[in-house]
Amino acid sequence: MNGFVGDQRSGDRAYRARRTLPLRVEAVRQLRRRRTWITFAVLLALPWVLAAAFKIGGSPSADANTPGLVSVATAGALNFTAFTLFASAGFLLVVAVALFCGDTVASEAGWASLRYLLAAPVPRTRLLRQKLIVALAYAALAVVSLPTMAMITGIYVFGWARLRVPGGDAALPNGTALTRMLIIVGYILASELLVAALAFLLSVATDSPLGAVGGAVGLVILSNIIDAVTALGHWREFLPTHWMFAWTDALQPHLEWTGMLKGASLSASYATVFIALAVRRFRNKDVVS
Amino acid sequence: MMRGRWAAIVGAMAVPAVGITWALLPGEPRVRASEQRIAVVDGPRDDRHVGLDTTFFAPAGGGRAPAVLLAHGFGGSKDDTRAEAERLARHGYAVLTWSARGFGRSEGEITLDSPDYDVKDVRQLIDWLARRPEVRLDGPGDPRVGVAGQSYGGGISLLAAAYDRRVDAIAPQITWYDLAGSLFPDATGRGAANGVFKKVWAGVFFTGGASSTACGRFLPSLCAMYQKVAETGRPTPEAIATLRRSSPSSVAGRIHVPTLLVQGQSDSLFPLDQADGNARAVTGAPVKVVWFQGGHDGGDPETSRIHGLVTGWFDHYLKDGPARASSGPTQGAGGSAQAPGGSTQASGASAQAPGGSTQASGASAQASNGFTVTRTGGIDSSTQRVVVTAATARRYSGLSGTARRALPLDGQEQTIQNPAGGSPASISTLPGLGALGGVSGFGTGGAQLDMPGQSAAFDTEPLGAPVQLTGSARVRVRVAGGLATLFAKVYDVGPDGQAEPARRLVAPLNVAGAADVALPAMDHRFDTGHRIRVVFSTTDMGFASPARPASYRVSVDGPLTVPVDPALRTPATPLPWWVWGFPAIAGTAAVALVATGRGRRRRGGERGDAAVPLEISGLTKRYKNGHLAVDDLSFRVEPGQVCGLLGPNGAGKTTTLRMLMGLIHPDAGQIRIFGEPVRPGAPVLARLGSFVEGPGFLPHLSGRDNLELYWKAAGRGEAHMDEALRIAGLGDAIRRPVRTYSQGMRQRLAIAQAMLGLPDLLVLDEPTNGLDPPQIAEMREVLVRYAAEGRTVIISSHLLAEVEQTCTDVVVMHRGTLVAAGPVSEIAGHDGSILIGTSEVDRAMSVLTTLEGVHAVEPYAPGVLVRLDGSAPSVVVAALVTAGVPVDRVTPHRRLEDAFLTLIGEGS
C-alpha cells in the first residue's frame, strides 16, 4: 500500500456514457453464471431424453386419442424436432426465456452490484437496453438451441425423412419443410417476446430474481388456465398465451399465416407496453437494494 | 406524480380495453312463433286434401315485412329450419316453415317435389302468407316472398319459382337440376338413359322413409318406379320422365327470379354440375353461384357464410330489389311465358325481362351476378378449424372455365379387368362416410381404394406452375373390348409419388369405343411439381356396375383439358383490425409511458462552483413509508479534505450517500459534485468512486474478473488495477469466485473497486467494518495519502474514534438533520476546556473562579468544567492541588463527543 503514484487526473474526462456496459461485457457477466449453463444443458439434453424415451417406450401409437404431432414424432428428424418444440414450447421454453429476462436486473439488485453499475455511472435507460439486448440474445439462443439439438438428435436416432404432416399421409418436400421449420422457430421467438418482456418488467419491479422469473412463468400459466375457459369466447384471443401454439399452422400442407400474424401482433403489442413500463419504472425507481 | 401513475395505468389497460368494448354485444330479441296446420288441396286433379304442419315466425321489427319460405331437406321436418327461421325473423323477415307432405307431422305422401303435389302446396302457402298482416304485399294476393332450402327444399325453391310468379327471389342449396341425371349420371353427356345407376345414394334416398312397408310414406307409384330401376340398375323411360318432372331441368328457361345457387364441393349426390344446370335454367335474372366446402358428403358446412349469403341475397332482392324492379316497365315475354298453373296474379315483382335487358334494375342485377368458390387453407390453430377463404369472380364461368389449359397425358394403353360380380369394388365416397369425405382435404388418408388391376391411370408431367382447376376437366378416352362401365376420377400426385384424390368424386360412364369424358367438377389447386392423374376404374362401390367379368384396353386420346378461372380472386385473408391496430396502440402507449415519466429527473439544473467536490443544499428525502430520512441537509466538502460523515445508525448518512450516487431521487434540495448537479446517470458521477452499504459483486466471478468487468462496464479510461489489487490485499484469493470470500475480503475488494479509477471524490460508507485492527490502520493510511494528493474523501461512520483519527473535517448528522460541521480540530478536539474530576466541587469552584486566565467555571459531574483563557491546564491543576482540592483526573472536554454520546445513547 504505497499509495497512488503517477496519474493524478481523474477518470472523468475519459468517461463516455456510450461506452458503458458494452454488450460484450454484459454477455460475459451473464455467460459465466451457473444458471446459464444449467439452462443450456437442460435444453440440449432434452432431445436426447425424449429420443431415449421413444426408443425405450416404442414409437407412439397412431390411435385417435394421440395428438397429431405425437403420433408422427419418430417419423424422422424433422418430425422429431417439431414434436420436441411441441413438448417444450408451453413450459420449458417459457421458463428458459423468463429465466434469462427475469433474472437479469433482479439478480444484480440482489447482489447489490446494480448500484455500483448505476453509480459508475451507466445511465439507467442504457443499462436496461444493454441488459435487455443481452437477455433477449441468450433467450433467443436458448430457443434456437433446442430445435437445433433436436434436429441433430433426430438425424442420429431416427434418421432423415420427409416432414410428415400430422393427421395425414402427406409429407412436405425437404426444402419446404426446412423453410417451415425456420418459420416455426421464428414464430416461437416472436411469441416468447411477450414472456421475455413480462419477465423483464417484473425483473425491474422486484429485487428478487425468483420473484421475477416465477412471476412471469406463473402469469403465463394463469393465462393458459383462463384460455381453457372456452366460455370466454373470442375474449380469449387477447390473452397473452392464446396464440402460443399458432406455429403448428406451419405444419400443415397449406401454410396458414393468420394465427401467427395475430399471435405475433399481440406478442409485440404486449411486449412494447411491458418494456415501456419497465423503462418508466426503472428510470424513476429509488434503488435501495 | 399522480398524473404519471394514471398515464401508466391507462397505457397498460389500452390494449385489453379495446377488446372490452368490442365484446359488449346487445342481447338478441325474442321471436314470436305460431304453429298452425294449413289445409291445402293438391294432386293432378286438385282433389287431395292434405294438412301441412307449419310454423310462422313474425318479423322482429313489426309492420309488414317481406316473407321467406324455408323448406327442409329430405327426411327432415320444419323443425330443422327453426334456428335459421328465427335468425331471419330477427333480421326483419316474416318466415314460414313447413313440413313437406309426407314428412314430419304433415299428411300425405312423399312425391319428390312433384309439380302436382308439393309445388301446389307451396302456392297455397304463398296464398296463406298473402293474408297475413305481417307480410308485405306487392299486389293483391301477392306477397313479397323468397324461398330457400337445402337439397329437397332447394328443389322446391326452384320449382316454386318456375310455377308461381309471385316468388321474388330464391336461394336453393345443394339441390338437383336433373334428378334423373343425378341418379343415373353419365360423364359422356348422353343423358340419364345412358347413365350408371348411383345405387347407394338412390337406395338411401328412396328407402330412408321405409318402416313397416318398404315404401314408407312414398307415393306408391314413385316407390314402384324405384323398385323397378333398382332391380335392374337401368332406368326406364317412364322413370326418367317422372324424375325429370320433379326437376328444375323440366322448367329450364321458366325461372326468372334472382337466384342464389349454393352447391357443395363435397357432394357426390348432387355434384357441382347440378348447380351448373340450374344456373343455366334461370333466365333474365341475376344468378350467383357459390361452391362451398360442404355438401351431402359432409365437409365444412360454412354455416355462417351461407347464412350471410342467403340473408344478403334476400336483403337485396326482397327488401330493396323488387321495389325498384316493379317501378320499371319490365313486363316482358319472359313474364307471360311462365305460369303453367295459370292462376298467377298480376305482379311486376318477379317479372324482370329475360335476356339481360338493360333496365335500371339490370345494373344492380349485374352487380349481383357472380361466382364464389370457397377454398380450404390450413387449420387455424386457435379455433382448431380449417380456414376457408372465398374466391370470387364477377360472373359464373360454368364448368368449362373462362380459360382452358391443355396438359398432355402420359400413359400407354392399359388393360383393366372388370371383376365378376363387380366385386371387390373401389371406394370413393359412400353415403354415411360423410365425415371421412369431408376431411379428405387434409387427409385422414387412404380410404379411397383402387383395386389392383381394375384401374388405368394417366398422368400429366409435373406441373411447372400451380394449376387451379375450377370446373370439369375433360379428356377423350378410348376403350376397346366392348361396352365398358368406367368410373373416372382425378388424383393429385405429389412430388414423392403419393396420390391423393383431388376430391372424392367420380364421373361414371358407359362407353364403347371413344368418348369425351367430363371429369368430376371441382375446384382444386395442383401445386408446382405435382402431377394431375386421371384414373379410369371398372368399379365403384357407390354405383351399379356390370356383373359380367370383362377385360378392357383403355387409352386416352389427346391432352387433358383443364378449365381455369383466373378471374376468381381470393381477397387477402381479412385480418382483424387489431393485428395492425394493437402494435400501433401499444407503440403510442409506450411513447406516452416513457415520455410522461420524466418529471422527476428534471429538477435542480443550475451549476455550481466546479472546484467544490461536494455541495449539498436543502436536501430532503422522505421514503414512501413516510419516514423522513434526510431533512433539509446542507454542507459542503472542499478539495483535499477527508470528511467524516458522522452519525448514529438511522441518522440518514446512507440515504444521503445514495442520493449522492444518483441511486435515489431527493424530494427537495440538490447535490452538486464539482459543480454539476447529480441525477441518475449524470456523467459527473464518473468522478466519484463509491463504496456504500456493503460490497456488490457477481458471486460466480473471481475478484479479479469482477474488477475488470466492472471497469469495462464503467466506460472510463485507464484502470489502476495493480494498486487496487494491492489495497485489496487478497493474494491468490483474487482468482477465486467471490462467493468463497469472507466479509472482510469482500469489503476490501469493494474499496479497491471504488478506487479503481482514482476518482476525484471517494465516498466510503463504514469502510472499516469487518477489518481487523492492522487492516484498519493500513486503510487509514491509504485514505490520508489519497487525500493528500488533492483528492477528496468522504467517510461515513458511526464511530467517533474512526472519524477523529482519519478525518480532517466532520459533518455530524442526527435524524436526518445536520448537527454540526467543521474541522475535526474545531469540533472533535478540545476547545480550551478541561474537565477536572474531583469530589469537592464547591471548593474547586471557589479556588478557580479567582484564578487568573480562567474564563469560566461550572459544575460538571463528577467535577467541574473549566474554560481556560490563556492559562495552561497545569496551572489550574497546580492551583487546585495547592489549595488542597483532590484532583482525580484531568481530561480535555469535547463538546462533540458529549453531544454525540448522547445521540448514540438514544439511538442504541
Q: What is the pLDDT of residues B787-833, one digit of tens each?
A: 888 899 999 988 877 887 888 898 988 888 888 888 887 775 556 67
Are B586 and A268 within 8 A, CB to CB? yes
CB contact set of B516 (below 8 Å; sequence gap of 6+): B188, B189, B474, B475, B476
Residue in B closest to A28 by C-alpha: B709
User: Chain B neighbours among A 162-201 (CB < 8 Å)?
Assistant: 162, 165, 167-171, 173
pTM of the model: 0.69
Rounded CA separation A40/A36 (Å)? 6
What's residue B886's pLDDT?
A: 87
Are A249 and B379 within 8 A, CB to CB? yes
Minimum distance, in Å, between the CA of residue A25 and any CA atom of chain B: 6
pLDDT > 70 in chain B, percent: 84
What's residue B543's pLDDT?
A: 92
Residue in A closest to B709 by C-alpha: A25
Minimum distance, in Å, between the CA of residue A14 and any CA atom of chain B: 5
Closest partner residue to A10 among B601, B687, B726, by Cβ? B687
For residue A245, the chain B residues in CB contact (below 8 A) are: 381
User: Chain B neighbours among A 234-253 (CB < 8 Å)?
Assistant: 234-235, 237-238, 242-243, 245-249, 252-253
Closest partner residue to A168 among B444, B727, B785, by Cβ? B444
Mean pLDDT of B834-862: 83
Closest partner residue to B692 among A21, A115, A237, by Cβ? A115
Residue in B closest to A170 by C-alpha: B443
pLDDT at A96 over 90: yes
Minimum distance, in Å, between the CA of residue B582 and any CA atom of chain A: 6
What's residue B40's pLDDT?
A: 93
Are B498 and A170 within 8 A, CB to CB? yes
Predicted confidence band of residue B29 (pLDDT cuts 50, 70, 90)? low
Within B789-872, where are the H helices? 800-806, 824-827, 841-849
Spell out where A154-259 has E strands. Answer: 163-164, 171-172
For residue A119, the chain B residues in CB contact (below 8 A) are: 661-663, 685, 688, 690, 692
DSSP string, B102-171: TSTT--S-B-SS-TTTHHHHHHHHHHHHHT-TTB-EEETTEE-EEEEEETHHHHHHHHHHHH-TTEEEEE
Rounded CA separation B760/B673 (Å)? 10
pLDDT at B784 over 80: yes
For residue A242, the chain B residues in CB contact (below 8 A) are: 382
Comparing B329 with A148, which gets the higher pLDDT?
Answer: A148
Q: Minimum mean pLDDT among A242-256, B21-35, B57-71, B436-450: which range?
A: B436-450
pLDDT at A47 over 90: yes
Contact A17, B685 (CB under 8 A): no
Predicted confidence band of residue B20 (pLDDT cuts 50, 70, 90)? very low
Predicted confidence band of residue A153 (pLDDT cuts 50, 70, 90)? very high
User: Crossing angle of helices A174-205/A77-89, nearest 10°?
Assistant: 20
What's residue A113's pLDDT?
A: 93
Are B720 and A4 within 8 A, CB to CB? yes
What residue has cell string 325498384?
Answer: B324
Closest partner residue to B8 among A170, A266, A280, by Cβ? A280
What's residue B385's pLDDT?
A: 65
Q: Minimum mean pLDDT among B113-122, B555-564, B565-574, B740-749: which range?
A: B565-574
* pLDDT per position as a tens digit, B503-527: 889 999 999 899 999 999 999 989 8
For residue B573, the chain A residues in CB contact (below 8 A) are: 257-258
What's residue B470's pLDDT?
A: 94
Comparing A42 with B886, which gets the higher pLDDT?
Answer: A42
Rounded CA separation B32/B59 (Å)? 8
Contact B296, B205 (CB under 8 A): no
What's residue A16's pLDDT?
A: 86
What's residue B431's pLDDT?
A: 66
Q: Minimum mean pLDDT among A35-39, A278-282, B443-447: which range?
A: B443-447
Q: Which of B51, B163, B38, B132 is nearest to B147 (CA)?
A: B163
Rounded CA separation B568/B681 (Å)? 62
Minimum distance, in Å, between the CA of residue A61 and any CA atom of chain B: 15
Mutation choice for B interface testing from A223, A224, A235, A286 by most B CBs within 10 A: A286
Mean pLDDT of A202-230: 92
Residue B749: phi, psi to the nearest 5? -65, -40
Rounded CA separation A226/B151 (Å)? 42
Q: Minimum mean pLDDT among B21-30, B54-63, B311-320: which range?
A: B21-30
Minimum distance, in Å, between the CA of residue A132 and any CA atom of chain B: 15
Residue B319 to residues B58, B136, B137, B764, Cα–Cα distance (Å)? 16, 10, 12, 87
Minimum distance, in Å, between the CA of residue A19 and any CA atom of chain B: 5
Q: Which of B160, B198, B146, B400 is nearest to B280 (CA)?
A: B400
Three-state secondary-structure class, residue A239: coil
Q: How many CA atoms lie within 13 A of B146 on its CB side?
A: 30
Rounded CA separation A233/A185 (Å)? 28
What's residue B836's pLDDT?
A: 85
Mean pLDDT of B772-791: 86
Are A12 and B760 within 8 A, CB to CB? yes
Are A4 and B582 within 8 A, CB to CB? no
Mind listing the domains of chain B with CATH numbers?
33-177+247-354+369-376 (3.40.50.1820), 191-244 (no CATH), 400-564 (2.60.120.260), 604-824 (3.40.50.300), 833-892 (3.30.70)
